[in-house]
Every structure is written in structure tokens, then in C-alpha cells.
Chains A and B, each alone.
Chain A
């Protein structure tokens, strides 16, 4: 998962321009072709599932002779599973909180006040989403060495937050744009301050949108390998993405079964979170925040 869909500024608002959706005739051959492609997409995951259930797993994909949960019980230890997952949680939740807080603060004035500052800033932000993050990891490592921030979880959180901020500000601004100003004005007339209006009117109305931004940032941070790989060196602070390498090397032969079991336990939280977003309001909400300019 990388940049958001900031696409199609011109996509017509569906209700205005499209009284009825166009649905061509359903056809069976489309079903067949789609199912074939879908099966191809699942194939690489087959090894993960079968291997995790096979205590004698190797590279090869095969139905386990004696399937069992041995691999899962083997990785259910504090060192192998719980500490790395806890570190991943701290890293991802921290990144999510910092990103959403900074994005809301920044997006509010950008959405509500008119200024010459807005357009260049928003284009700068969009440009920021285009930056290849992997390219700046070497310089970021240098920066962290100079500032003595290597191996610091908070500093890594701040860096991850900075990388997801452009997308988060862009999405959050679109969500705030969608909250009618009139509602806030009504609150001001009743004596509420700007901040009170933001807290009592805008935030509740864009709650689901902020949830989507948080979950997207969380999923990205959770799945990110390269950033913690470069910036977090000691074993005690490494998240699951990096600690996964403990199944190689040190223990001699590669423990493929345990690697697969660990991979599944590590992947399930983000798959579940994505399902929440997709089910909640469909991809449409996630996309709509990003799509409307």
C-alpha cells in the first residue's frame, strides 16, 4: 500500500450526472475469466496457509502430511511474537495518532480560510506524496546518526508520520470541505469559539473519515519494512516486519513452517482492519476523501 488515490479530480459527482448506473448484461465468460485471475492472485498465498499448518514445511507447496498447529504454538512466545507485535502496535498507533492530529490541525485553516498560501501549500503537499520514500532512506539514516536518533521509537514514529502526512492532510482537507460552514456559523452565533466549533461540529461529522485516514496510516506503518529496518537496530525495539528475519540464520536452518505461521499472525490485524474500512462505507468513502480535490 502506498499513496492514496488522489485521482480523477473530474470524476462527476455520481448523483448529479448519473441518474442510473450503467450495468451491461451479466455474462458467464466474464465470471470465468475473473475467477481464473482471482485464483492466480491467491496462488502465492497458498504456500503461506499450507506451510503454516505443516510442521515439516519447506519451500514447496504441499498438503501437510500431518497437519497441526505446532508452528503456531512454537511462535507464540514473548520474544518471537508478542514483543515484535507490541512494537509494531506502538509504531503504527503512534504514527496514526501523530499523523491524524497534525493533519486535522493543518487541514482546518487550509479548508476554512482563503489565502494566497493555500494553493501552493496544497500543491506542495501533493508533490510530497510523489517523493519516493525509499530514495530518502539513506539520507534519513545519515540525519538520524547526526541527531543521535537511531534506534529511537519516537523518532521513527515522527518520521513515519511525516511520510504519511501529505496524503493525510490532503484527505482530511477534503473531509472538512464536505462539512457545511453554515453548521459551524450557527455554533459561533451561539457563542462557540473556533476551537469549540471544530471540536463539537466538525470532528464528530468527519469522524468516519478520520477513522479511515487513521486506519490507512496504521496499515501502512504496520506493513512498512524498510523504515524500521534502517532506523531501529536493537532487537528489543524492532517491530514484527523486521524481527521476522529471526526465522533465518541464527537458528541454523530456515524454519519455514514457523515463518509462515508468524507471517499469518502478523498479517491478520491489517487484513481485518482493511475489511472494517471496506465494509463500513465501502472503498467509496476511502476513495471519496482522496478523490475530490
Chain B
């Protein structure tokens, strides 16, 4: 009986319900709410908090005219490209390659040091990075030994400071991904190349990297998405300043919504960020589908 069959089918999937409800209420709900609120003049307090009015695309038009938005967009691209795509990805790969050639004790010790920065609570990592880059912090103390002039990193070069800090914080992820990927490269391949006279660099470039290209692509996607969402590290180190010089999109959305009390405008920024994340997420899913046999 089809009706009976259908009932059984539904009953079987009943246990999925709690998860679905949680995801709908707390993830899908806020996303939809964000798109809606970005079309209103909702405020944090006062009249517009109780009765937000529909303003259409006003917030988005304001975004286009606001000089901070393009700056923030550019800083976000810089942050992601510098700390994730270049920094974490390349350093993670380098660490994984080096670890296969180093003594096991050394690679285990260094692996622990790298992972420690990643496991640390984000606020503690933020404070540590802040102290490291501050005017009389560890970095300047070290540079002072070599007679290099004092730079106030957090004020003069805030983006450099947060990019380096995020490389420090996040490289462990890429390192773990590439360690797993390199373990899957068959020994016969590299050995055969070695017998044909290929040097270490050639083997890396022409054998190893092409074999693990799937892992490289997924890793690039994931670190991009993770870095896009970084808030606490930047908030603790520079709070987006000085004068918006390190205001990436998450920081901008937070400032507009909570510091200036303009929820509508803040959610417009957040909606852009969600859309960017969605585009990368869709690209990532495509990538996974293609990789499946």
C-alpha cells in the first residue's frame, strides 16, 4: 500500500527532525531575516527598534556611496588573499613537506607548536597577537636587538599585523590537510621520478602537487571561507582602526549594527558577506561533486 509505505518512509526520517528544526531556526532563519532587515531602517534602540520601516534598497544605495564600503571590501580581499591563500596555504604546505623530511621528534614538536596557536581560544590568541605587535611588544624587542627602528605595527601597518597574526593562528589547518594528503601520495610515483633523475623540487612540482591538486583546491576553498569570517582577532588587535584602516567586512557589519546602532545598514553589510560566502560555498560544492568518481 503506497500510503502505508509513505508513512513508514516519513517515520524513518523522523529522527532528522531535531537537527532540521535547529538548522532552520538558528541558521536559515537569521539568513532570511538578514535579507529582510537589510531592506528596513531597523535600529538597535529607540523608535526604529520597535517599528522598523521598509526602505527598499536604500541601505544598499548607501553602501555604494559610502567610501568605507569599497575600502572594507578591498581590505577583506587583501586579508583573505594575504593570510589565507598565500600565508596559511603556502606555509601549511611547506610545513607538511618539510615534516616528511625532518626527524619524527622534530616534526612532532613543531606540529604541536603550530597546532597550539590554532586550538587556543580566539580571544587569547587575539591578546597574544596584540601584545606581540604592540609598540613595546616582543616583535619590536627582537627587532631592536638588530638595531631596526621601532615601528608601531598596530597603528602604522595594521593590515600587516592582522595578516601575519592570522597566518600564525590558522596555518595548522592547512598543515593537517596537507599532511593527510601527502600521506596518500603513492611512494612508487616519486621513487620512479627519482630514478629518472628528477630533483626534489621537480618531484614536488611535477609529481606531488599534481597528485594532491584536489586537496589543494578544497583547502583553498575552506581557508578562504574561514578567513572571510574572522572577526575576533582583528577586533582585539586593532578594532578595525586606526581610522578604518583594518575594517574588514565582519568588523564593518558589527560596527554599523552595534556601535552606531543601525541594524538595517549593518545587516546590509552582513548580507553582502553572506552572499560572498554563499558563492564560495557553491563553488566548493561543485568542486566536491566534480572530484567524486
Q: For residue A135, which residues in chain B have a CB less than 8 angstroms away from its CB?
A: 34, 229, 249-250, 253, 270, 273-274, 277
Quick check: A134 and B186 within 8 Å, CB to CB? no
Quick check: A134 and B122 within 8 Å, CB to CB? no
Quick check: A132 and B120 within 8 Å, CB to CB? no
Write 11 A-B pairs (CB below 8 A) sorted by A numbering. A18-B187, A44-B129, A44-B138, A60-B137, A105-B18, A105-B19, A109-B15, A113-B12, A132-B277, A165-B19, A278-B115
Tell me if B33 is interfacial: C-beta within 8 Å of chain A: yes
Question: In the complex where A3-B222, A130-B284, A131-B277 touch, is A263 in contact with B127 (Cβ < 8 A)?
Answer: yes
Within 8 A of B (CB), among A203-246: 219, 222-226, 230, 240-241, 244
A-binding segment of B56-64, B105-113, B238-246: B105-113
Q: What sequence of 0s and 1s flags, for each residue 128-150 of chain A, a beta carbon within 8 Å of any chain B beta carbon?
A: 10111111111111110100000
Number of chain B residues whose Cβ lies closer than 8 Å to a Cβ of chain A: 111
Give A108 to B16 CA distance when docked, in angstroms. Answer: 8
Within 8 A of B (CB), among A105-133: 105-106, 108-110, 113, 115, 117, 121, 123, 126-128, 130-133
Q: What sequence of 0s and 1s flags, for each residue 16-36 of chain B, a beta carbon within 8 Å of any chain A beta carbon?
A: 101110110111011101100
Quick check: B191 and A26 within 8 Å, CB to CB? no
Closest to A113 in B: B12
Closest to A58 in B: B136
Q: What sequence of 0s and 1s flags, for each residue 1-42 of chain A, a beta carbon within 8 Å of any chain B beta carbon?
A: 111011111111010011011111111001101110111111
Closest chain-A Cβ to B17's Cβ sits at a distance in Å of 8
Quick check: A21 and B183 within 8 Å, CB to CB? yes
Q: What sequence of 0s and 1s flags, for each residue 27-66 of chain B, a beta carbon within 8 Å of any chain A beta carbon?
A: 1011101100100001000000100000000000000000
Tell me if B185 is interfacial: C-beta within 8 Å of chain A: yes
Quick check: B98 and A60 within 8 Å, CB to CB? no
Question: In the complex where A10-B214, A22-B190, A31-B106 touch, is A138 in contact with B113 (Cβ < 8 A)?
Answer: no
Q: For residue A97, which residues in chain B have a CB less than 8 angstroms away from its CB?
A: none
Quick check: A267 and B121 within 8 Å, CB to CB? yes
Give A163 to B113 CA distance when docked, in angstroms. Answer: 28
Closest chain-B Cβ to A92's Cβ sits at a distance in Å of 11
Tell me if A93 is interfacial: C-beta within 8 Å of chain B: no
Give A230 to B25 CA distance when docked, in angstroms. Answer: 18
Question: In the complex where A110-B16, A266-B124 touch, is A11 in contact with B181 (Cβ < 8 A)?
Answer: yes
Closest chain-A Cβ to B238's Cβ sits at a distance in Å of 15
Q: For residue B278, which residues in chain A have a CB less than 8 angstroms away from its CB?
A: 127, 130-131
The CB with the most chain A CB atoms within 10 A, among B122, B171, B280, is that of B122
Closest to B106 in A: A31
Tell me if B74 is interfacial: C-beta within 8 Å of chain A: no
Q: What sequence of 0s and 1s flags, for each residue 38-69 of chain A, a beta carbon within 8 Å of any chain B beta carbon?
A: 11111111111001000000111100000000
Give A105 to B33 CA distance when docked, in angstroms. Answer: 28
Give A37 to B181 CA distance when docked, in angstroms. Answer: 21
Closest chain-B Cβ to A26's Cβ sits at a distance in Å of 6
Q: What sequence of 0s and 1s flags, for each residue 238-268 of chain A, a beta carbon within 8 Å of any chain B beta carbon?
A: 0011001000000000001001000100110
Tell me if B151 is interfacial: C-beta within 8 Å of chain A: no
Quick check: B228 and A132 within 8 Å, CB to CB? yes
Give A30 to B121 CA distance when docked, in angstroms. Answer: 30
Closest to A286 in B: B176
Give A31 to B106 CA distance when docked, in angstroms. Answer: 6
Q: For residue A1, which residues in chain B have a CB less than 8 angstroms away from its CB?
A: 118-119
